[in-house]
Amino acid sequence: MALRRDLASPPAAPLLLASTSPRRREILELLRIPFDVVAPDYEETEDDPVAHAVGKARSVLAAADGRPVLGCDTEVVLDGRVYGKPASAEEAEEMLESLSGCVHEVVGGLALLTPAWEEVHSATTLVTFRALTPRDLAHYVASREWEGRAGAYAIQGLGASLVERIEGDFFNVVGLPAPLLVRLLAERFPGARQQNHRRSPERPSDHPPG
């Protein structure tokens, strides 16, 4: 079905990001997509990043005043086990040791919603960790960079030293599948894309794939 004329026009106001994640804010700023931030009122009760993304976005949709709402979530998965955010240094070390020398999936859920339509998608990036030594584990855990990170690491920080190879979208591992979002915005708001000349961001050169 063809988009209504008003839905195909550029958004009259910034996106509403249903997340307080600094990483997601940084990606949107890099994309030069205007946005406002609101904390989602949503409790994660299952290991499903897509459901979490939708839940976060829907929790603030009523307050969006017609603006498109963006919800995101990220999970690390290895052999069917979902690695969430570690609660302690000991749990972080156990997670990293499990990921050592293995290929795991980073699954990002993305929901872009308005009262008129919903775009709900997922993106998967494959990340290979090199074999980590006890010294590697101790050094990284001591950095405390693992705090608040799914899978106990941050790919855009010291965690890059743990990685041997990445297959797929780097920004999905950071916390937001940027090329997917850019494509959805181009499809839903083509006029805004032409006006702002938005494009997918280039991957930072200081953290190249292994």
Cα-Cα end-to-end distance for the chain: 44
73 is annotated as an active-site residue? yes
CA-CA distance, 5 to 26, in Å (whole number)? 31
Point out the catalytic residue in the list 36, 41, 65, 73.
73
Tokens of 85: 């955010």
Three-state SS for 143?
helix
Three-state SS for 75?
strand
* Residue 109 near residue 72 (C-beta atoms within 8 A): yes
CA-CA distance, 70 to 108, in Å (whole number)? 13
CA-CA distance, 131 to 128, in Å (whole number)? 9
- Catalytic residue annotation: 73
